[in-house]
Amino acid sequence: MRLYNLYARGSRGSWTFGSIDDFEAGTLHKNFRDEFQFSYTNAYTGNANDLAYDATRTQMALYIEDKFYPTDDLEMTAGLRYERLSSDDKPTLNTAFQNTYGHTNQENLDGVDIILPRVGFKYYATESLTINGGIGRFQGGIPNVWYNNPFQNDGITLVSASQNAIDAYFENVNQVDFTRVPEQVNNSLEKGAGSTTYTDPNFKLPSSIRAQVGFEYDFDSELLGDGFKWSAELAYHKKENEAVWHNTSITPKLDKNGDIVRSATGRIIYDNKYSGDLRDNYDIMMTNADDSARSIIFSTALAKEWDNGLYVSTSYTHQDVEDVAPGSASTADGNYKHATTHSRNVDLVGRGHYEVEHSFKVNLRYQTEFFEGYASKFNVFFERRSGRPFSYTMGSYNDYDFGDTRDFAGTSAYLAYIPTGADDPNVDWEESGLSWNELETLLNRAGISERGQLLGRNTGTQPWVTTMDVSFKQEIPGFYKGHKGEIYFMIENFTNLLNSDWGIEKKISYSDQKLYDFGGLSPNQYTDRDTGELITVDAKDNRLIIDQRYQGSDVRNYDKIVKSSSAWQAKIGIRYTF
């Protein structure tokens, strides 16, 4: 398998302006550290094409299976699969990385293998009842781009302009030209000064243990007729070695006793390995989760077809899904950045990002012949499903209190802490911009009943989605013998055609809803709101400061309407077969 990719995000520069007026005036925004908000990432040569990787990977799979019958009514299947990855291509060796960690950044999974046994059965209990099941280990579902991120982010080729070089240039510029990267900034790119993504040298291929049992049952009804088909299945999945991403450039801060420093709410506070021009660098490692997530999925379906051409099927599926990392991005830094957590680099098993807790489906089909020899088909498909989960987090913008590096200090990855009340000792209410009464109102509106704890992942649920599609197809004669045509008319989201308030899909843009803004951790001095007195504490106590969310509070379980799936669509066409 040949893998080629060119990903050059930020290679034309990124400018941030504080307002429309600043944009028109060409005035670049500065952050709270008095740094100009411009970023530039490219190959150290200045040529984005040098960022492409071209690698070859081979996957060998051997499978042996045997089917046998212990009895006339029992069918057994046993199999064994062996998979092995191999590749001669490696990321460019980064000697600075090797000196820092004691191993190279060149892990390419060459020689990594896995054994996947499985066994299944089918038992013909009666002429009407069949019971089936099985258990096995399965591997797959890992995008190749995850394995190949280290080729582009070797810390040698892909580099970023330093903040010192950016500030030195823009300090003397009154009106920026955002059509090109300044030559002085481009010339500041230094080979080997980039961030690194790499694969854990001890990485194991992710897999899952899957067990399922189900049945198929044919039965008759005196009231509704013969020929009903009922099926059900219960499946259990346990993930093994799930892929997760850690930033190894940060390490827990230690106090004078060698204990890990934590915030008052229990979050780990980190120090960075790097300083100076490299202080914003990171090293993202793809590794395996220590804890295992599991999924339980139940589904059942009932179907019946009548002699008059009517067919009806209904089904219900319930999911109880866990994961550690959703893996929703194609890049290592994206997967690390957007994984909601209590503390960085600490894996957290929680409700699955892609879980659909309830799903109801009904399919109604009717076939007749309005014209002899030519089928007329009506079809109605209805689905009602619960929304996907989301997490309540703290909004962040250039917040470095937990030790995040620059690229991750503005992401809302930290799950919200819910105080016990106005006297919660973990919160610095004096410095907070949001009172307990105001926060409690938001919590009640959001339906959050937890108190005195960090919320778990994906405790919220987006709105239910209801859709119905209808179609009509009519066969027509062809121009020649053996030819046949078909006229079709379909309406997607028919409910929205009936009522503009129906069939609307509302969802969260990302995987989180910011409950409040993180105002930092409490300093060693603060001003008493009532007396105005400056109060000094013995040391920084790391209590949480809670601020009003930027641009106002919004605790709804959605923030946008998906236009593509929320409007009805009609399609008329002709199909001709010969």
pLDDT tens per residue across span 380-412: 999 999 999 999 999 988 788 999 998 898 888
What is the amino acid identity at position 409? A
Q: How many Å apart are CA 555 and CA 578, to the nearest integer?
A: 57
Looking only at the bridges linking them, the beta strands covering 534-536 and 453-454 are unpaired
pLDDT tens per residue across span 475-518: 999 888 888 899 999 999 999 999 998 999 999 988 899 999 99
pLDDT tens per residue across span 439-461: 999 999 999 999 999 999 999 99
Binned at pLDDT 50, 70 and 90, residue 133 comes out as very high
Cα radius of gyration (the chain): 30
pLDDT tens per residue across span 77-111: 999 999 999 999 999 999 999 999 999 999 999 99
Q: How many Å apart are CA 316 and CA 363, to the nearest integer?
A: 12
Q: Which of 38-47, 54-63, 191-200, 205-214 has the highest mean pLDDT?
A: 205-214
Specify the pLDDT at position 528. 53
Binned at pLDDT 50, 70 and 90, residue 282 comes out as very high
Question: Are the CB atoms for 322 and 352 separated by under 8 Å?
Answer: yes
Q: How many Å apart are CA 83 and CA 98, to the nearest integer?
A: 30
Instruction: Show the DSSP H helices in 388-479 as ranges.
Output: 436-446
Q: Is the pLDDT of residue 114 over 50?
A: yes
Q: How many Å apart are CA 331 and CA 460, to the nearest integer?
A: 26
Q: How many Å apart are CA 90 and CA 80, to the nearest integer?
A: 30
Question: What DSSP string describes 77-142?
Answer: EEEEEEEEEE-S--PPP-HHHHHHHSS-S----TT-EEEEEEEEEEEE-SSSEEEEEEEEEEE---
Question: Are the CB atoms for 269 and 312 separated by under 8 Å?
Answer: no
Tokens found for residue 317: 């599926």
Distance of CA 450 to the CA centre of its chain: 25
Backbone angles phi, psi at 437, to 5 degrees: -60, -40
**Range with lowest mean pLDDT among 26-35, 421-430, 546-555:** 26-35
Tokens found for residue 217: 């049952």
Specify the pLDDT at position 275. 86
Tokens found for residue 440: 């409690």
Looking only at the bridges linking them, the beta strands covering 506-507 and 560-561 are antiparallel
CA neighbours closer than 13 Å in the CB half-sphere of residue 228: 13
pLDDT tens per residue across span 227-268: 999 999 999 999 999 999 999 999 999 888 889 999 999 999
Binned at pLDDT 50, 70 and 90, residue 539 comes out as very low
pLDDT tens per residue across span 28-38: 888 767 788 88
Instruction: Show the DSSP H helices in 387-435 as ranges.
Output: none
Specify the pLDDT at position 9. 83
Binned at pLDDT 50, 70 and 90, residue 534 comes out as low
Question: Are the CB atoms for 324 and 289 separated by under 8 Å?
Answer: yes
Distance of CA 257 to the CA centre of its chain: 38
Distance of CA 16 to the CA centre of its chain: 26
Q: How many Å apart are CA 283 and CA 195, to the nearest integer?
A: 6
Q: What is the pTM of this model?
A: 0.86
Percent pLDDT > 70 in the chain is: 97
Q: Is the pLDDT of residue 525 over 60?
A: no
| Cross-strand bridge partners of residue 124 | 130
What b/e sequence results for 452-489 when a residue is b if at least 16 CB atoms lie within 10 Å of its CB, and e otherwise? eebbbbbbbbbeebbbbbbbebbbeeeeeeeebbbeee
Distance of CA 328 to the CA centre of its chain: 3
Question: Are the CB atoms for 460 and 418 separated by under 8 Å?
Answer: no
Burial of residue 177, with CB atoms counted within 10 A of its CB: 0-12 exposed, 13-18 middle, 19 or more buried: exposed
pLDDT tens per residue across span 157-189: 888 888 888 888 888 888 888 888 888 888 888
